Amino acid sequence: MDKIQMTTPIVEMDGDEMTRILWQMIKDTLILPYVDLKTEYYDLGLLHRNETKDQVTVDAANATKKYGVAVKCATITPNKQRMEEYPQLTQMWKSPNGTIRSILDGTVFRAPILIDAVKPVVKNWKKPITIARHAYGDVYKAVDLYTEKPGKATLVFEAEDGETQELLVQQVDGAAVWQGAHNKDSSIRSFAKACFQYAVDTRQDLWFSTKDTIAKVYDGRFKAIFDEEFEAYAPKFKELGITYFYTLIDDAVARVIRSEGGFIWACKNYDGDVMSDMVSTAFGSLAMMTSVLVAPDGTTEYEAAHGTVTRHYYKWQKGEKTSTNPMATIFAWSGALRKRAQLDGLTDLEAFADRLEAACFRTLNDGIMTRDLVGLCEPGFEAKAVDSETFLKEIAARL
Ligand code: NAP
Ligand code: MG
């Protein structure tokens, strides 16, 4: 059989632990036999990030800007415990996702992968809910301070031209915690554009929520920018019969639970972090969630929403077979291949991405799945738990 050809490489970011093992298995079993795969490879495994002083992460993000499409494996973000586990680390390197997101300045869209056998915990949810998470600023780029004495804190802004603005934060009578957060008009505007464009591309309604009754200036700015940016999209929304509306986050939460799904819910950085975990868990699991970072210039990075599945990796290291769910990582690959195909006009490659996903669904619908999913299946559905390798072979057989 002739392999499907590619013209432009995809930026491939390898990662850590169990997902790194799955990464290679997925390529070997589901991609390389069919596609003449062209990638520019970056090893974002923790030790290689350490060896390159994290330059490899920056290089990978810049390559993503250059080529337009990337696929990323889950990676370890070192913490204290990891510093003990890997004594060779010279620094507690920052989250690669954080580094990549701030270089690409994007919005992360997360949508559950639905199958008939696993029903959402929320009974009335019939269609996927996509969370659009702003990926810049707020508490993720904030500074924190702990003070012990009575006193006051002020917020001072010094413009480059020397003009200053000052505001009293609070006068306190004892120990206190403080936080200084910011966001930028330019980033909020990109966030708004990415959301409106994604709604148009996927023909879904867009909801946006913040807490602008409390954070009148901060969240108010988000709301105003969304309103401004919507003007350009309003005719297109009308044409497609889709809507945009803004509501308070508390109201949004209530409405989301009562809804049927089938829309995009745009959230600020922190809200999106938390709500995407809630939505994915209610739909099934993080292992059944697609995640894509979309930058304002259209650059995309596909990834799994879950981590490196450390506990499974430790078992795998002892020679045990694990039943780790590779769906999110497979869909990161199919998503990236499809996007590359669309940009380069490669119909064969686009069809391959569709067939790969269809083969995954057929396998799951046949009751062959990883252990995590078996536990979530409806009573009466006959499901068999297999290890990851067998699961991938079953997909390949259907592909
Ligand atoms: P995790 O890797 O997502 O795993 C947490 C637990 O969820 C697992 O122990 C497993 O439960 C279950 N799980 C997650 N993905 C699964 C899959 N594909 N198949 C089956 N079960 C799955 O989160 P973590 O343990 O908090 O983090 C581990 C490492 O990942 C950390 O070093 C963290 O920095 C990193 N991380 C990376 C990313 C990223 O790169 N995108 C995101 C989050 C975390 P059972 O053990 O009960 O089976
Ligand atoms: Mg999170």
What is the CB < 6 Å shell around ligand 1? 74-77, 97, 286-287, 303, 306-311, 324-325, 370, 372
Average pLDDT (284-290) is: 87
> In the chain, what are the domains?
1-108+300-399 (3.40.718.10), 119-141+184-283 (3.90.190), 143-180 (no CATH)
Average pLDDT (354-365) is: 97
CA of 97 to the centre of ligand 1 (A): 15
Ligand 1, atom 5: nearest CA belongs to which residue? 309
Average pLDDT (185-194) is: 94
CA of 248 to the centre of ligand 1 (A): 31
Ligand 1, atom 26: nearest CA belongs to which residue? 307
The residue among 134, 147, 207, 204 whose CA lies nearest residue 173 is 147
Average pLDDT (5-23) is: 98
Tokens of 397: 């057989």
Ligand 1, atom 21: nearest CA belongs to which residue? 324
CA-atom Rg of the chain in angstroms: 22
Integer Cα distance of 70 and 336 in angstroms: 6
- Give the global pTM: 0.89
Check whether 398 has a pLDDT greater than 90: yes
Check whether 1 has a pLDDT greater than 80: no
CA of 277 to the centre of ligand 2 (A): 6
pLDDT of residue 18: 97
pLDDT of residue 129: 95
Query: Which range has the top average pLDDT, 105-109, 167-171, 201-205?
Result: 167-171
CA of 73 to the centre of ligand 2 (A): 16
CA 318, chain centre distance (Å) = 30
Question: 30: burial class by Cβ within 10 Å (0-12, 13-18, 19+)?
Answer: buried
Average pLDDT (18-37) is: 98
SS3 68: coil
pLDDT of residue 285: 82
pLDDT of residue 201: 84
pLDDT of residue 105: 81
DSSP assignment string, 15-62: --HHHHHHHHHHIIIIITTTB---EEEEE--HHHHHHTTTHHHHHHHH
- Beta-carbon contacts of residue 88 (< 8 Å; ≥ 6 apart): 47, 50
**Percent of the chain whose predicted confidence (pLDDT) is above 90:** 86
SS3 293: strand
Integer Cα distance of 35 and 186 in angstroms: 39
**Percent of the chain whose predicted confidence (pLDDT) is above 70:** 100
Ligand nearest to the CA of 293: 1
- Beta-carbon contacts of residue 71 (< 8 Å; ≥ 6 apart): 10, 11, 12, 13, 39, 301, 302, 303, 332, 333, 335, 336
